[in-house]
């Protein structure tokens, strides 16, 4: 992992600004020896704010920025002047970032839109100056409120890749090869498991200058929902995809078994993933002659009835245009 710039998990310590203290002051000038209270309110402490940025796709800029502090609010002053608010600290994050409380694991919020802003740690409110406490029975209040304390704590930021189509399959299913063929993405490709250790995102051009986003999710293995093979880290990225393209090679010893294992892992991780539209693509179909293809299709129709399926070969281009047509239709039906 040391040779990649993709970071999808960071833990940061945040402290918002403390609210400024209210002022205890009485009006004095050359014509007024004993004026009434005119202490102003303290300024608000700065917030820690997360802002979505569609131009970012990794959290690497926060990997070594472990502490984020906002400024304190200024105290109030005479003539009922309110103190200046502390400057907010805005942290830009990629779309699909989930903020969690590091201690409880509770999700605070998600950032899914460009320019969307949400407060991670709220700044303390400024204290009220003594002018606020004047009454008929208290003409000269000699006290004011202190500002609220800052909010501080550790937060975890996790990234879930946002894409239209998520590629799901075991290692060496041909996901990276397909992405390199249908888009300008250049994922690492080799004939051994776990070539892909981080998600790769590509934009797939379609007819009439239209396009959709495709994410190559690193290969899943049996037991991934329990964390085997970095499984939890991989599965997290599938949650934000609009639909899932299951990819199983034609030379697999059991396509039905592999498909059922993949479905089982998704169900155990998050049953809602099975509500997404899905399509099964049998890859490396260039290895099959017409007779073998016909036999395999009949077998799949019997083993996986009702599952949309097709043959493709990223090497020869067989079925690739049809695949893009089907994906576009599913995404826009």
Closest-CA residue to 216 (of 177, 242, 190, 249): 177
Between 201 and 181, residue with greater pLDDT: 181
Task: Decide if pLDDT at 128 tops 80.
Answer: yes
Kindly give, in sequence order, each residue whose CB lies less than 8 Å from that of residue 118, ignoring residues fewer than 6 positions away: 49, 50, 99, 109, 111
DSSP string, 148-173: PPPPEEEEEEEE---EEEEEE-STTS
Those residues with Cβ within 8 angstroms of residue 247's Cβ, 6 or more apart along the chain or in another chain: 167, 168, 169, 173, 174, 175, 178, 281, 283
Joined tokens for residue 298: 């009949």
Report the b/e string of 252-289 with b at 16+ CB within 10 A. Answer: beebeebbebbbebbeebeeebeeeebbbbbbbbbebe
- % of the chain at pLDDT higher than 90: 49
Q: In the chain, what's the furthest Cα-to-Cα distance?
A: 107
Looking at residue 48, its pLDDT comes to 97
CA angle (280, 285, 290) in 5-degree steps: 115
Record the pTM.
0.68
Which domains, ranges and CATH numbers included, belong to the chain?
1-159 (2.70.210.12), 163-331 (3.40.50.300)
In the block, residue with structure tokens 């037991």: 223
State residue 227's pLDDT score: 43
| pLDDT, mean over the chain | 85
- Indicate the pLDDT class of residue 115, thresholds 50, 70 and 90: very high
Burial of 41 per CB tally in 10 Å (0-12, 13-18, 19+):
buried
Residue range 198-223, pLDDT digits in tens: 667 788 889 888 888 888 877 564 54
- Picking from 260, 166, 163, 269, the residue whose alpha carbon sits closest to that of residue 217 is 166
């Amino acid at each position: 992992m040391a040779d990649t710039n993709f970071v999808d998990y960071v833990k940061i310590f945040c402290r918002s600004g403390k609210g400024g203290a209210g002022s205890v002051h009485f009006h004095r000038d050359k014509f007024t020896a004993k004026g009434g209270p005119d202490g102003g309110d303290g300024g608000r402490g700065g917030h820690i704010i997360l802002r979505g940025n569609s131009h970012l796709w990794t959290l690497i800029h926060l990997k070594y920025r472990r502490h984020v502090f906002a400024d304190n609010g200024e105290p109030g002053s005479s003539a009922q002047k309110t103190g200046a608010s502390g400057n907010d600290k805005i942290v830009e994050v990629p779309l699909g970032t989930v903020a969690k409380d590091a201690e409880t694991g509770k999700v605070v919020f998600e950032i899914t839109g460009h320019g969307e802003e949400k407060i991670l740690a709220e700044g303390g409110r400024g204290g009220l100056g003594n002018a606020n406490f004047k009454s008929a029975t208290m003409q000269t209040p000699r006290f004011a409120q202190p500002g609220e304390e800052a909010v501080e704590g550790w937060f975890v930021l996790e990234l879930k890749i946002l894409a239209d189509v998520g590629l799901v399959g075991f290692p060496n299913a041909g996901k990276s090869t397909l992405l390199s063929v249908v888009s300008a993405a250049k994922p690492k490709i080799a004939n051994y498991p776990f070539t892909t250790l981080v998600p790769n995102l590509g934009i797939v051009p379609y007819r009439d200058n239209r396009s959709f986003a495709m994410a190559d999710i690193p290969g899943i293995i049996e037991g991934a929902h329990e964390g085997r093979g970095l499984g939890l880290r991989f599965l997290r990225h599938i949650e934000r995809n609009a639909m899932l393209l299951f990819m199983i090679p034609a030379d697999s010893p059991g396509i039905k078994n592999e498909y059922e294992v993949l479905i089982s892992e998704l169900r155990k991780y998050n049953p809602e993933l099975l509500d997404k539209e899905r399509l099964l693509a049998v890859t490396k179909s260039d290895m099959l002659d017409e007779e073998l293809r016909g036999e395999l299709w009949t077998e799949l129709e019997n083993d996986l009835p009702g599952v949309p399926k097709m043959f493709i070969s990223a090497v020869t281009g067989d079925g690739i245009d049809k695949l893009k047509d089907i994906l576009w239709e599913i995404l826009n039906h």
